[in-house]
Structure formats: structure tokens, C-alpha cells
Structure 1
Amino acid sequence: MVTILKIKGFEEFVSFTDSIDPNGPIVLFYFTGSKMENGKSWCPDCEEAEPIVKTFLTELKKNVTFVFVDVGEREYWKEKTCPFRTDSRTRLMVIPTIIKWKGVQRLEGSQCNNRDLLQMLFEDDDD
């Protein structure tokens, strides 16, 4: 059903995207701030969204790959030149953000906390 993966940093993200099977299951990326020593993200919005997203994924009955992407430390993320912000495949403005790979659909910020919007993001793919 749902395959959950975790990757860290832009280089791992690029490496992973290069290996995506175009005929495989849909791939969604969840971009989040890195975890601190206490196990919580430095990004409070990410901390708020993560349990909602994880619960939703446990209930999902679809064949998808869901990838948690650690964008790094706060200082790195805040840089205008952060590749997650500047790369044409991501163009992140805020975190958390969920992107459907090779699609235009995305959820940004507090939208990631909304179960109805999560449902719509996954339903759009029914072929």
C-alpha cells in the first residue's frame, strides 16, 4: 500500500528523484524541517502537520510512495539560495509542503493539516 521513505538534504532528494520509476506508484514528497535533539522539528508548523499526515497515511488504501524530506537546519532553509527554494522541481516557499511528483498539485503550510485537502490530493490520481 503506502511505502514511506525518509531522505535528508538536497543531494539525497536529487538522487532519489533520478531513480523514480515513471511507471511505478505515484510519489509524494513531504518537505519538513530537520529534527532537533529532542526529536521535534525546529519548524512548529511541521510539528503540527506531521501527526495529521502520518495518521492519514495509515488509513490510506492506495499504492503510493510517500517521502519525508528533511530540508535541513533553520538557518540553511532561511537562505534565499537554499536549493529547495530555487530548484525548478520544488520551488518551496514554506514548509511543510507536500508535492505530488510530476504534477502541479501541492499543499503548503497549514493546508498540510487539513484532512479534506489531503484526501483531495490523493484522489486526484484515480485513473
Structure 2
Amino acid sequence: MARYVDVRVSGFQEFNQAVEQHKGKTIFAYFTGSKDAEGKSWCPDCELAEPVVLDGLKHIGEGCVFIYCQVGERPYWKDPNNDFRKQLKVTAVPTLLKYGKPQKLVESECLQASLVEMIFSEE
């Protein structure tokens, strides 16, 4: 059995449903640019950060939830009124955060394995 729950969602509504479903658990969320049919994101930093973040999951605590969220296409993301920016205060991708807590890694910070490990292993 997996040590943690891995949830893959696309868009703000699916993200909120996933959070609702796992209420009361420690939730980590990774926000990334959406991918095309070839599995490539429009966000070059997201492409670089993804292997670092996914590798960092080996440090995630037992029973935690990891939500991998594709934020949508570039034009939607660039809109200052999109739901991620307005309601979650996620202003850049990639972003890795501990949901409901101040811990957050943004853009190039997601490329640093030591920081990713720290966010996953902090109590």
C-alpha cells in the first residue's frame, strides 16, 4: 500500500473537490502548467521542476495527500483574475505548497531538491 495518496487533477474545480475529499489530512499541492497531448507543459520551469518535486515525494509523511494540479492553458493562467490567483494566492507556476500553511516554494525554489525535501519532511 502507498505511504501517501497521490491525486491528479486539472483545473480549479477539480482541485477544490480533491481538497474537500481529503479534509483533515496533511495536503501538499503542486501547481503546474497544463500539458499537451505529448505530455509537455507550456511552462518550461514546470518541466524542469517536476522530476525534482516527484523525487522529493520519497520524503513525504505517512498518510499525507499529494495533489498534482494542472492550472490550465497559458492564456487562462496569465489572466490576473483566474481562480488560482484570486482564491489560492498562487501567483506563479511551478508552485509547491503545504495547503493551509505558510510553507510554499515558488518557481526556481521548486528546482532545489533540499528545499523540496524540507517542505515534505517538515511537521
Report the TM-score when normalising by structure 2: 0.90
String of CA shifts for 1:88-126, please: whole Å, max 9, x gaps: xx201110001101211000001011111112112321x
Q: Distance in 1 between matches of 2:60 and 2:35?
A: 28
Give structure 1 regions of 4+ aligned residues with deviation exceeding 3 angstroms: none
Q: Which runs of 5 or more structure 2 residues have no equivalent in the other structure? A: none
Offset, 1:61: 5.8
Q: Mark the CA change 1:42 to 1:91 in structure 2 (over 3 Å): closer, same or farther.
A: same
Q: Secondary structure of 1:107's partner?
A: strand
Partner of 1:21: 23
Task: Tell me, yes or no, if structure 1 residue 120 matches structure 2 residue 122.
Answer: no
The one-letter code matched in structure 2 to 1:122 is F
Contact 2:56 2:120 in 1 (8 A): no
In 2, distance between residues paired with 1:101 and 1:18? 12
Superimposed CA distance per residue, residues 33-79 of structure 1 (whole angstroms, 9 cap, x where no aligned partner): 1101221100000000001111222x336212111001000010001
Q: TM-score, normalised by structure 1?
A: 0.88
Partner of 1:102: 100
Distance in 2 (alpha carbons) for counterparts of 1:61 and 1:101: 14
Query: 2:61 aligned with 1:62, yes or no?
Result: yes
* Cα separation, 2, equivalents of 1:61 and 1:106: 15
Query: What is aligned with 1:37?
Result: 37
Supply the RMSD in Å over aligned alpha carbons. Answer: 1.3
CA distance in 2, matches of 1:101, 1:110: 19
What is the total number of aligned residue pairs between the two structures? 120
Deviates more, 1:116-125 or 1:72-81: 116-125
Aligned identity (percent) is 37
